[in-house]
Structure 1
Amino acid sequence: MIVSWNWLTDYVRLDMPVEALAERLALTGLNHESTEDVGGDLAIDLEVTSNRSDCLGHVGVAREIGVVFDRPLRVPDPRPRASGPAVLSRAAVAVECPDLCPRFTARVVTGARVGESPWWLRKRLETIGVTPISNVVDVTNYVMFECGQPLHAYDLDLLQEHRLVVRRARPGETLKAINGKTYELKPEMLVIADAGRPVGLAGVMGGLETEIGDKTRNILIEAARFDAMSVRKTSRELGLFSPSSFRFERPIDPEITEWASRRCAELILETAGGTLHEGLIDVGAPSRPREPITLRYAQIERVLGIPVGSEEVRRILAALGLEIVRQDGSAITARPPTWRPDLEREIDLIEEVARIHGYEHIPEDRAVPMTSAPRAVRERVESAVRETLTGLGMDESVTFSLVEESLGGPVQPGTAAAPLRIDHSSRKVEVALRQSLLPSLLSARAYNESRGNPAAELFEIANVYLPRGAGELPDEPTRLAIVTSRDFRGAKGVVEGLLGRLHVAGPLTARAVDLPLFAPGRAAELLVGGVHLGYLGEVEKSQLDRFELREGCSAAELDLGVLLDRAILIPQHHALPAFPAVSRDLSLVVDRALGWEDLEQTVRAAGGPSLVGVEYLDTFRGGNLPEDRQSVHFGLMFREPSRTLTGEEIDRAIKSIVDACATRLGAFLRN
């Protein structure tokens, strides 16, 4: 929000250096971006947060200055002289969608002369970066930047039947906006129409066919309130943004609408002449009164760490425009003004007291009474995941939730529905809500690779978005994704290390699957205790090319919910082995289609209680083996906690394993 120094002086006395003004406003929440001299005036650029829509006009900023520097605020009281017949004799307004347009007002000025604005009006608009157009249009812009309420002026003679209808767009309707572009409208969009066609997009932009021109003599002034979500959706759907839509997407003071209409009429009479018709067309229900908020003085010290006197609290709240309802020795109750919709709770008033009293008055060493809360299970699990993976040489990545639709194909999202689309003002390509984290991580790895870091080891913890039924919010499970230069076994080792760190209950098993992202025969579904955990595999060559990756990599995506359910966060104690382990290797010839998971389960079941470890080593095919056979080489580890195993015991266990594999799987020892 750019404000003019000279313009602000209309409402509040400015007798401080501009540097002092900028610093003090920054301390109260209006961060100072820059100050520029524009033809003898100062253009001050302030960052206005989304909850402070009251500061999107010069009056609102002046009000803040008045509170901070204890200066009285001077707000104009427009009283345009009406000398024409009743306004209803020249125009009519109907609102068919009161849910999207809670209030719509209109005034009529006839016999005006459209031309160049006076110097003072052009100068003020130019200072804040707005190009002057004509006296009538400039007045509507002036009032918007004065009070934050957007307005629009129509050429009354170009409105069919001299009437406006606020309604939803009809199928097939289009609008040629004042920017010269034609837009196809959708039924959910709110439009301002005359008797036959749309003449404006409500809250976004007016139409070209009824705009004010050099030949305009009769003017209809619109000042209205529109539903913020409706304006936001229309603006993003069409990629059409304006100072009006920027303001209508935020809460607007419901009581400023009529003031802005009077102010606009007054300035049009002053700059363009004409006759104002008697009365105001005002369609809509009155705004509901604000509920009072009680602020307990004890809470101020509890939250801020310092006491603030009751009279100081009263002075601050009154200066901010709150109506004091009652006050006693322990609390004060006040009703927020209509221009501060962000004041809803006691803590909001505490923040107001803090920022106006001055954060600099809170000593750095002042203890704030509070107690520590135990970390939630999710926080502890995520912390352990981060510690483990960074300890394994990986870096945490934070990527955007939107991805390109062409890269948004999920690994296995659990839904066949197409990804949800989001129309965003700053995103033209990344418009799909991701159903998997892996496209984002693979893109991040490609970004690193293109900048000289070919082996970026990355992980991310974030939500994915799985569509449900029409009109329902998506399911948002949290996933853990990993991208690494390690091969399949190395990546599986990372997952095993993570499960070990979390003491996850249940063995980890890998079941071979075919997924488009992974190379054939190099992908697996991971299960822990028989419960689906996620997927792991080496990325297939065509998928590497799709993400513009030159180096091969493996990827895994795990369901964090399973880790939360099965993690054992209480530290576990196990005595160190007192007796040595015995290691043996076996090479079994098995059917070529047999997966490691089935072989491992058979070996563990037959090995007895002394078998404490089974490790896959390699697979051999070819040579003197039949075409339909393969040799699987794996290691075994035996141990007893109370004694040393004998060779005879090991031999019996191995014979039991070989016999079981022969009986169940048709396997035999390789010579």
Structure 2
Amino acid sequence: MIVSWNWLTDYVRLDMPVEKLTDRLALTGLNHESTDDVGGDLAIDLEVTSNRSDCLGHLGVAREISVLFGKSLCIPAANPTTAGAAVESRTAVEVEAVDVCSRFTARVISGVKVAESPWWLRRRLETLGVRPISNIVDVTNYVMFECGQPLHAYDLNRLEERRLVVRRALPGEKLTAINGRVYDLEPSMLVIADAVRPVGLAGVMGGLDTEIGAGTTDVLIEAAQFDALSIRKTARALGLFSPSSFRFERPLDPEAAEWASRRCAELILELAGGSLHPGVIDIGRPKPTREPVSLRFAQIPRVLGIAVDRPEVRTILSSLGLEIVGESDASITVRPPSWRADLDREIDLIEEVARIHGYEHIPEDRSVPVTSAPRGRRERVESEIRNVLTGLGLDEAATFSLVEDSLAAPIEPGPASAPLRVDHSSRRRENALRQSLIPSLLAARRHNEAHGAADAQLFEIADVYLPREGRELPDEPPRLALAAGRDFRGLKGVVESLITRLHVAEPLSARPVESALFAPGRAAELRVGDVHLGYLGEIDAAQLERFELRGACAAAELNLNVLLDKAQLVPKARPLPSFPAVVRDLSLVVDRSLAWADLAAVVSESAGNSFRAIEYLDAFQGGNLADDQQSLHFGMTFRRDDRTLTGEEVDLALKNVIEACSRKFGAKLRG
């Protein structure tokens, strides 16, 4: 934001060196970029953060200066004289898109004479780097740079039926903007139209057909409030940026439109003549009432480390425009002004006191009491996950949520939904919100392979973005993804170790699943009890080629919310077994189509009370087995808590397992 030194003197007395002024502004949040001499005036470039949109005009900066240096602030009254018929007899306004246009005001001036602006107005705009055009247009720009509220002036006689309609664009509509370019409009874009066609892109740029020209005699002045997100989307979709769109993309003073409209009319009457029709067309919601905010005096030394006198606190807050609505020995309650949308918490008021009192008054060695906050459940679970996975040799990765199309597909089986897209001016290719973390981890493995790390074992905890039918915003579930140069069993062991460390009570099970990302027959859906946990599998050879990966790898993606819900953060101590375990292996010949999970379930149910665990060892196909058969080799662990098991008891348990599997699956003991 460039401000003119001479222009600022209209509102506040500047009797200090410019260096002192810029240094003080920098210490209070308006960083000084540069100061240039432009034709005898000083153009001061200040960095205005997005929360301080009140300083996107000379009045806002002057208000800051008046508070910092204890100067009085002079704000123009903006009371133009009126004459003639009421404004309603000259024009009409209809707001159809009330959800993205909270307020729209219109005034009409008849009988103006368009001419070159006077020297003082041209000079002030040139100091800011703005090219003067004509007295009418220059006034709208002048008022915008004065108070931060954008305005637009229409040639009323060029508007069909002499009226405006605020609506969304219709399919196929186009607009020739004042820059001479033709833009194809989308139905999501907010436009200002007359009775027939769009005549401007709301909050972005006006149209060429209704611009102020040499023959203009009647002017309609627009001052409005639009939805910031709508303006931002339109500006980025069209690559069309302007000082107006820059301001509309930030929170504006909801009460500034009326003052800016009157101020604009006043200056036009002064510079171009004409008559302002009485009244104003003002359509919109009721002005919002700011909620009071309380500041406890004891919080100031607790947060800042220094005490600030109560009278000074009161003076600072009131000079910033905050209305004092209550005060006691312990606190003060204020109502923030309309132009400070960033003040709504106690800590915001403490920051205001600190920056006006002066950060330089806070000693560097002053201790500030700090109280550690307990970690939440998610932080504790994530910390445990990181400890487990790093202990197993994996490294944590952090990848972008915005990816190119090839990395945006979901991992879930079945047809994939198209990813949501974000208009992003600096990343044209990576504009899709990912629906899975695994493709990003595979891309990270490829990057590591290309730089000499042949087997980067990675994990990531992040959100994915799943489109929801009928809703603009996605579902954003947190996920845990793993990718490592291990086979199916190796990576499943990592997940099992994680489940064990989190003390999840329900058993982990795996059922075969088909997914385009995984090799056929080498992927599974993971469940904890009856709850879906995620997917795990070995990456298919075609996918390895697509990602340009040289080495085989497996990947898994887990629903973090399930782990958060099932984790037992306070484990229960159990005594170590007093008696030895007995481990026995079995090899059963079963149908090739039989899933290991189904066999394991029957074994667990039939093995008796001494059964403790089952472990898959391997599967064999071919040899003397039929083409539709396989041999599943697994181990079983038995133990009693009160005594040592006998061989006969274990043999009986094995016999029961074999008979149960024979009845259920036609299984036979392999010789």
Deviations 1:175-206 (A, max 9, x none): 22223333344555443223432211222211
CA gap of 1:446–1:64, structure 2 versus 1, over 3 A, is farther
Corresponding residue of 2:180: 180
Kindly indicate whether the alpha-carbon contact (under 8 Å) linking 2:478 and 2:560 is maintained by their aligned counterparts in 1.
yes
1:248 is matched with which residue?
Answer: 248
Q: Please tell me the residue identity of whatever aligns with 1:555.
A: A
Instruction: Give the unaligned 5+ runs of structure 2.
Output: none
| Residue 35 (structure 1) aligned with residue 27 (structure 2) | no
Matched AA of 1:324? I
State the distance in 1 between where 2:483 and 2:607 align: 35
Determine whether 1:105 maps to 2:106.
yes
Report the Cα distance in structure 2 between the residues aligned to 1:570 and 1:89, rounded to whole angstroms. Answer: 72
**How does 1:407-486 map onto structure 2 within 5 Å?**
407-412=407-412, 418-471=418-471, 474-486=474-486
| Partner SS, residue 439 of structure 1 | helix
Give the superposition deviation at 1:532: 1.6
Q: Give the aligned partner of residue 211 of structure 1.
A: 211
Between 489-498 and 90-99, report the one with greater CA deviation: 90-99
- Tell me the CA shift for residue 521 of structure 1: 0.6
TM-score (norm 2): 0.87
Contact 1:180 1:208 in 2 (8 A): yes
Going from structure 1 to structure 2, the CA distance change for 1:582 and 1:471 (only over 3 Å counts) comes to closer
CA contact (8 A) 1:169 1:186 kept: yes
Aligned partners of 1:87 and 1:451: how far apart in 2? Answer: 74
State the distance in 1 between where 2:573 and 2:290 align: 59
Equivalent in the alignment of 1:352: 352
- Equivalent residues of 1:86, 1:277 under 8 A apart: no
1:214 is displaced (CA, Å) by 5.1
Runs (5+) with no aligned partner, structure 1: none
1:618–1:634 contact (8 Å) kept in structure 2: yes
Paired residue secondary structure (1:491)? helix
1:382: how far off? 1.7
Taking the aligned partners of 2:224 and 2:171, their CA distance within structure 1 comes to 25
Is 1:283–2:282 an aligned residue pair? yes
Contact 2:136 2:272 in 1 (8 A): no
For the Cα contact (< 8 Å) 1:105–1:258, is it kept in 2? Answer: no
1:448-478 CA distances to partner (integer Å, 9 max, x unpaired)?
4455544333322233344445247544332
Residue aligning to 1:200: 200
Letter in 2 for 1:37: D
Q: After superposition, what is the alpha-carbon deviation per residue over 1:606-626, rounded to whole angstroms, capped at 9, x for unaligned?
A: 444444443323333223332
Distance 2:46 2:554 in 1: 47
Partner of 1:52: 52
| Structure 1 residues 14 and 399: alpha-carbon distance in aligned structure 2, compared to 1, 3 A threshold | farther
SS at match of 1:412: coil
Is the contact between residue 591 and residue 630 of structure 1 (CA under 8 Å) also seen in structure 2?
Answer: yes
Q: Give, in angstroms, the shift of residue 435 of structure 1.
A: 3.2
Deviations 1:243-280 (A, max 9, x none): 2122223332233323323443455566x644354545
Report the equivalent of 1:396.
396
Between the aligned partners of 1:655 and 1:258, the Cα distance in structure 2 is: 90
Q: Give the deviation of 1:222 after TM superposition.
A: 2.4
Once the two structures are superposed, residues 569-623 of structure 1 have per-residue CA deviations (whole angstroms, 9 ceiling, x without a partner) of 1133233445555544443333222222223333334444444443323333223
TM-score by length of structure 1 reads 0.87
Residue identity opposite 2:410 in structure 1: P
Structure 1 letter corresponding to 2:142: Y
* TM superposition shift of 1:125: 4.1
Residue 318 of structure 1 is matched in structure 2 by 318
Higher mean C-alpha deviation, range 201-210 or range 327-336: 327-336
Single out whichever of 71-80 and 495-504 deviates more from structure 2: 71-80
The separation in 1 between residues aligned to 2:63 and 2:137, in whole angstroms, is 26
Please give the alpha-carbon distance, in whole angstroms, between the structure 1 residues aligned to 2:454 and 2:23: 46
Alpha-carbon shift at residue 513 of structure 1 (Å): 0.9
CA offsets per residue over residues 400-436 of structure 1, 9 Å max, x none? Answer: 4444445432122899755444445555444444333
Is the Cα contact below 8 Å between 2:114 and 2:134 reproduced in 1? no
Q: Distance in 2 between the 1:131 and 1:487 partners?
A: 67
Tell me the CA shift for residue 80 of structure 1. Answer: 5.9
The answer for the alignment partner of 1:224 in structure 2 is 224
- 1:517–1:539 CA contact under 8 A, matched in 2: yes
**Aligned-partner Cα distance in 1 for 2:495–2:427:** 34
Q: 1:106 to 1:553 in 2, by over 3 A?
A: farther
- What is the CA–CA distance in structure 1 between the aligned matches of 2:25 and 2:547, rounded to whole Å? 47
Counterpart contact for 1:93–1:283, Cα < 8 Å: no
Query: Which AA in structure 2 matches 1:164?
Result: L
The residue that corresponds to 1:96 in the other structure is: 95
Instruction: Quote the offset at 1:499 in angstroms.
Output: 0.6
Summarize the alignment of residues 111-130 of structure 1 with structure 2, pairs less than 5 Å apart: 111-115=112-116, 121=121, 124-130=124-130
Write the distance in 2 (CA, Å) between the matches of 1:452 and 1:126.
56
Mark the CA change 1:498 to 1:17 in structure 2 (over 3 Å): closer, same or farther. farther
Alpha-carbon contact 2:87-2:108 (below 8 Å) kept: no
State yes or no: 1:147 paired with 2:147. yes
Give the 3 Å change call, closer, same or farther, for CA 19–608 of structure 1 in structure 2. Answer: farther
Q: In the alignment, residue 71 of structure 1 is paired with which amino acid?
A: K
Write the distance in 1 (CA, Å) between the matches of 2:420 and 2:512.
30
How much does 1:160 deviate? 3.0
The answer to whether the 8 Å contact 2:407/2:434 transfers is: no
Residue 502 to residue 283, structure 1, CA distance change in 2 (3 Å): same
Q: 1:88 to 1:267 in 2, by over 3 A?
A: closer
Identical residues among aligned pairs (%): 66
Q: 1:549/1:182 Cα in 2 relative to 1: closer, same or farther (>3 Å)? A: farther
User: What number of residue pairs does the alignment pair up?
Assistant: 667
Counterpart amino acid of residue 587 in structure 2: S
Quote the offset at 1:527 in angstroms.
Answer: 1.3
Distance in 1 between the 2:485 and 2:133 partners? 60
Q: How many Å apart are 1:173 and its aligned residue? A: 3.4
Q: What are the residue-to-residue correspondences of 1:523-538 with 2, within 5 Å?
A: 523-538=523-538
* Contact kept in structure 2, 1:105 and 1:280, CA below 8 Å: no
Work out the CA distance in 2 between the residues paired with 1:295 and 1:341: 17
Q: Deviations over 1:62-111 (max 9, x none)?
A: 222322233333434456677x7557499413233466242313242644
With over 3 angstroms needed to count, the CA separation of the structure-2 counterparts of 1:616 and 1:265, relative to structure 1, is same
Checking the alignment, whether the CA contact within 8 Å between 2:590 and 2:665 is kept in structure 1 is yes
Aligned to 1:61: 61
SS of the aligned residue for 1:524 comes to strand
Q: 1:621/1:454 Cα in 2 relative to 1: closer, same or farther (>3 Å)? A: same
Residue 379 of structure 2 is aligned to residue 379 of structure 1:
yes
Q: Is the 8 A contact 2:482 2:555 kept in 1?
A: yes
Bigger mean CA offset, 543-552 vs 409-418: 409-418
Give the Å deviation of 1:666: 3.0
Asked if the contact 1:449–1:455 (Cα under 8 Å) also holds between the matched residues in 2, the reply is yes
Q: Distance in 2 between matches of 1:5 and 1:452?
A: 58
Does the 8 A contact of 1:177 with 1:183 survive in 2? yes
8 A Cα contact 2:205 2:242, kept in partner: yes
Q: Secondary structure at the match of 1:244?
A: helix
Instruction: Tell me whether 570-579 or 382-391 shows the greater mean CA deviation.
Output: 570-579
Indicate conservation of the 8 Å contact 1:415/1:467, yes or no: no
The Cα of 1:498 is off from its aligned counterpart by: 0.8
For 2:597 and 2:496, locate their aligned partners in 1 and report how far apart those are by CA, in whole Å: 15
Cα gap change, 1:473 to 1:151, in 2 (>3 Å): closer
> Contact (CA 8 Å) 2:135, 2:272: kept in 1 or not?
no
The more displaced of 337-346 and 51-60 is 337-346
SS at the partner of 1:102? strand
Question: Offset of 1:316 from its aligned partner?
Answer: 0.2
Residue aligning to 1:158: 158
Contact residue 589 and residue 669 of structure 2 kept, 8 A: yes
Who is 2:504 aligned against? 504
Q: In structure 2, give the amino acid aligned to 1:590.
A: V
Residues 413 and 466 in structure 1, CA contact (< 8 A), matched pair in contact too: no
Q: What is the CA distance between 1:485 and its match in structure 2?
A: 2.1
Deviations 1:343-378 (A, max 9, x none): 334443333223322344455666666765543322
Which amino acid in the other structure matches residue 182 of structure 2? T
State the one-letter code of the partner of 2:104. R
Shift of 1:484: 2.0
Q: Cα 1:381–1:17, aligned 2, differ >3 Å: closer, same or farther? A: farther
Partner AA of 1:93 in structure 2: A
CA distance in 1, matches of 2:661, 2:195: 85
C-alpha distance in 2, partners of 1:65/1:209? 42
